[in-house]
């Protein structure tokens, strides 16, 4: 038998309580059983049928929820506000988009299986960074490796130089803006302002079939659940305690003998990798990726998702991404000219009246109940 912990040693909480596991199981049943049955088995004219529009919309929101979880790990639990996470999301999308574009040329429509924008620009050969882009496994490695490597190099020099606070946020935003300007250029070989679109197949399977759409939907849901469990495992571990201590009083953590550089480096790189995976799942479902995904406004919007849902509460990040993007989908159709005003008003209202977000406010109200 293991020795009992010392009386003064704090006990780390479990991964999920009974209610948490029950809610997660219910979500998995809806995701992997109810949705596929309603989409594939129910006839199109049935009230239980889920259209391709809703499958794509919910899949897109789940990708955004993964990005919000990544942001919450570094901002809510470590105190590092990034205004450049849209860059990592877009890099993962572009890495997988290269594979999807090579599958278009597999029909022999284009010269030397080249994408249409390269044919239009009269390119004779692929750029060096398109090497082996027709291989699924290689592009899957790029989805993880490119955002992770960029985040590791950038984070190492930034954290080593003790850059923090608003200065770190400004630098990440500048990095994202510079990358967006670079990808807008046709000479980079990423389609310029049009980006990648008109995807046809994945692994030889047509991408527009209901079966493939549901497969992508289910994979995205599984990735979201995995990210949530991974985040929960981190924040309830000793690593999570150190990250929270860095957020609250980094100087004291350093005086206690911890090298905070590598803790911040780890969570920063992991957060970028999660965003890259989310971007790779986003592209085949939405059907397009272009440099506008790197715009600073998108990265600021990611921070708003976390603030609305509740910073420092993983489920709050998921809830915030769902609420804001659900409202965005409705507003941009019903009142497209008022969406940005609503978003700004929402952020101001949350900052003034619900500084802990929706989940934090509900927890506070619950704790006041007798």
**Bridge-based pairing state of the strands 196-197 and 201-202:** unpaired
SS3 328: helix
Using one digit for the tens of pLDDT, what is the confidence trace for 267-311? 999 999 999 999 999 999 999 999 999 999 999 999 999 999 999
CA distances to 34, 40, 57, 325 from 31, in Å: 6, 13, 14, 19
Query: Measured between alpha carbons, how far is 258 from 253 in angstroms, rounded to an integer?
Result: 6
Q: Indicate whether this model's pTM tops 0.85.
A: yes
Q: Where in 129-225 does DSSP place strands (E)? A: 196-197, 201-202, 205-206
**Bridge-based pairing state of the strands 196-197 and 288-289:** antiparallel
Distance of CA 313 to the CA centre of its chain: 16
The answer to whether residue 6 scores a pLDDT higher than 80 is no
Taking each helix axis from N to C end, the angle separating 260-286 and 136-160, rounded to the nearest 10 degrees, works out to 140
pLDDT at residue 14, as a whole number: 58
CA distances to 14, 166, 229 from 18, in Å: 10, 39, 14
pLDDT at residue 7, as a whole number: 37
Using one digit for the tens of pLDDT, what is the confidence trace for 73-90? 999 999 999 999 999 999
Backbone angles phi, psi at 236, to 5 degrees: -95, 0
- Among 343, 332, 322, 324, CA closest to 62: 322
pLDDT confidence bin for 106, thresholds 50/70/90 = low
Higher pLDDT, 157 or 349: 157
């Amino acid at each position: 038998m293991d020795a009992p912990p010392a009386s003064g040693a704090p006990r780390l909480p479990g991964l999920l309580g009974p209610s948490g596991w029950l809610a997660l199981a219910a979500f998995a049943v809806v995701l992997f059983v109810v949705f596929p049955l309603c989409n594939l088995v129910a006839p199109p004219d049935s009230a239980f049928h889920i259209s391709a529009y809703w499958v794509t919309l919910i899949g897109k929101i789940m990708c955004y929820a993964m990005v919000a979880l990544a942001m919450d790990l570094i901002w809510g639990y470590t105190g590092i506000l990034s205004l450049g996470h849209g860059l990592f999301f877009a890099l993962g999308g572009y890495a997988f988009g290269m594979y999807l574009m090579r599958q278009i040329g597999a029909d022999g429509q284009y010269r030397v299986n080249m994408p249409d924008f390269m044919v239009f620009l009269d390119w004779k050969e692929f750029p060096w960074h398109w090497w082996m882009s027709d291989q699924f496994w290689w592009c899957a490695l790029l989805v993880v490796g490119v955002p992770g490597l960029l985040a590791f190099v950038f984070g190492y020099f930034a954290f080593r130089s003790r850059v923090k606070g608003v200065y770190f946020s400004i630098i990440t935003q500048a990095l994202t803006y510079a990358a967006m300007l670079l990808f807008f250029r046709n000479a980079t070989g990423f389609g310029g302002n049009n980006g990648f679109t008109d995807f046809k197949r994945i692994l030889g399977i047509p991408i527009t079939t209901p079966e493939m759409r549901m497969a992508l939907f289910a994979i995205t849901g599984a990735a979201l659940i995995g990210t949530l469990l991974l985040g929960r495992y981190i924040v309830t571990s000793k690593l999570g305690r150190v990250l929270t201590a860095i957020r609250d009083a980094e100087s004291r953590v350093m005086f206690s003998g911890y090298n905070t550089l590598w803790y911040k480096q780890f969570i920063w790189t992991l957060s970028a990798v999660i965003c890259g995976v989310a971007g790779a799942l986003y592209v085949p479902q939405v059907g397009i990726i272009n440099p506008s995904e790197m715009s600073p406004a998108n990265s600021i919007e990611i921070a708003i998702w976390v603030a609305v849902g509740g910073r420092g509460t993983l489920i709050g990040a998921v809830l915030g991404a769902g609420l804001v993007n659900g409202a965005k989908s409705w507003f941009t159709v019903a009142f497209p000219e008022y969406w940005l005003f609503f978003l700004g008003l929402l952020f101001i209202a949350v900052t003034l009246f619900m500084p802990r977000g929706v989940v934090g406010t509900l927890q506070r109200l619950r704790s006041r109940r007798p």
